Amino acid sequence: MTTTTSPSVDLGWHMGAPSLAIDPDALSPERMRARFSGMRETSPTVNVWRGAGPVSALPRALRNDIDALTFVPLGAQTPMRCDASLAANHTDGIVVLHRGQVVYESFDGPLKPHKPHVCMSVTKSLVGTLAAAEMVAGRIDPDALVPVYVPELTDSAWGNATVRQVMDMTTALQYDEDYANPAAEVWAYLRVAAQLPGMPAPAGSPIGIRAFLQTLRANGTHGERYAYKTVNTEVLGWILCNVTGLPLEQLIEERLWTPMGAVQDAYFVVDPRGQAGAGGAFSGALRDMARFGETMRCRGFFNGRQIVPEAAVADVERGADPAHFAQAGYTLLPGWSYRNQWWMTHNAHGAYCARGIHGQNIYVDPKAEMVIARFASHPKAASANTDPTTLPAYHALAQHLISAS
């Protein structure tokens, strides 16, 4: 980063063409919001085809009792209405499924039902699910060391890390993911990944994500604590591609979007090598994210077929060690864990979620038979900015759906 001012750090994701140099207004919240519904307008992308089959049904049974539902935001005293929370946390669109039916839906601003929106780190949960499927099929051994699948990483931080440690982000990396730190390595990653369109990697940088991964080094002992670092997902994606012999976009297309009967093509932003960014570069339509969440809730079965192996979903639901997670210091997420690239609440409903910065979510509540897919464009990156007005709202809604059923 060339600047340390807060807005440019928070809005770094959408810097680019038209860049600040030619458009001083490019970092406004309004422009960022438009950008999130059109990442391909500033970056090279690779398409994820929905397939030639029919769009799967998402029956509608809209309820009028959700807008007025209230919850108490984390750290607050005063209840907030659900409809008021949408503006408060910069929601671009939200779909709530109950028992597979759309009970609530809202689109706002530039987001339309047919427009893919950036998923940020929700991408990781797609990749983790596919990797879990390969694990239960026996094609990836979670206890194997990473170089078994990616020899190029032998001398890197991952040379002595297991796939399981990568999956659950318990590797010890010399790598800072704090967006508020302009010197954090995450900025170098985003630049080599070509995810900051106006800011190419400096001359002499590794070319592309995979070359960059090879330069990273360990800092400590793997497997002792959870530490959320996006580069782990890039390693996982590399493993997945090598094991299957397919690029990531084709895996998502053939194994998820086409069998799910997605309504719309999706896409990945690609790096200068044409590599899809596994850590956060996916854009999809909101209702398709809901379809994916519903697939998970139904233990892999959706659109009349078993899309994800049930054992892979069970391996997600199992969760990981909350003691590892606790060391990361997420005070808003007590007792949670991180498993197969999913965030596990370990609450009484067994809820878990996919989470992306600026407010992207898929929230699966098995007990309430509820799935929420949500896109947002909160001006600040960290999820801590949206958690207070989303997590308790999701849980209140889940409880309401249970009691109203």
User: Which residue ranges make up the site for a copy of itself (CB under 8 A)?
Assistant: 17-19, 22, 38, 40-47, 49, 52, 114-115, 197, 207, 265, 267, 270, 272-274
Q: How far is the CB of 114 from a copy of itself (least distance, A)?
A: 6
**Of 121, 337, 377, 383, which residue is the catalytic one?**
121
Q: How far apart are CA 300 and CA 133, in angstroms?
A: 10
3-class DSSP assignment, residue 147: helix
Q: How far apart are CA 357 and CA 273, in angstroms?
A: 25
Where are the strands (E) in 131-249, listed by range?
Answer: none
Q: How many Cα atoms are found within 13 Å in the side-chain-facing hemisphere of 378?
A: 25
CB of 55 to a copy of itself, least distance (A): 9
Q: How far is the CB of 113 from a copy of itself (least distance, A)?
A: 8
Residues with Cβ within 8 Å of 305's Cβ and at least 6 positions away in sequence, in order, are: 259
d(CA 85, CA 269): 30
Whole-angstrom Cα distance, residue 89 to residue 372?
15
C-alpha to C-alpha distance for 214 and 105, rounded to whole angstroms: 43
**C-beta of 191: minimal distance to a copy of itself in Å?**
14
Q: How many CB atoms lie within 10 A of CB 154?
A: 14
Instruction: Output 128 or 208, the one with its CB closest to a copy of itself.
Output: 208
Q: How far, CA to CA in Å, does 249 sit from each of 46, 47, 208, 401, 402? A: 7, 7, 17, 35, 37
Residue 264, token pair as written in the block: 């719309």
- String of DSSP letters for 68-89: T-EE--TT-SS-EEHHHHHHHT
Q: How many CB atoms lie within 10 A of CB 181?
A: 14
Residue with Cβ nearer a copy of itself (222 or 287):
287
Q: Which is nearer to a copy of itself, 114 or 318 (CB)?
A: 114
405 among known catalytic residues:
no
**Closest alpha carbon to 342 in 164, 122, 165:** 122
Which CB, 128 or 197, lies closer to a copy of itself? 197
Look at the alpha carbons of 75, 81, 84, 90 in this order and tell me if their dihedral is positive or negative: positive
Minimum CB distance to a copy of itself smaller for 43 or for 361: 43
Strands 45-48 and 266-269 turn out to be: antiparallel
Q: Smallest distance from the beta carbon of 51 to a copy of itself, in angstroms?
A: 8
Match 């907030």 to its residue by tokens: 80
Least distance CB 45 / a copy of itself (angstroms): 5
CB of 354 to a copy of itself, least distance (A): 24
Nearer to a copy of itself, 39 or 153 (CB): 39
Cβ nearer to a copy of itself, comparing 60 with 64: 60
Q: Mind telling me the catalytic residues?
A: 121
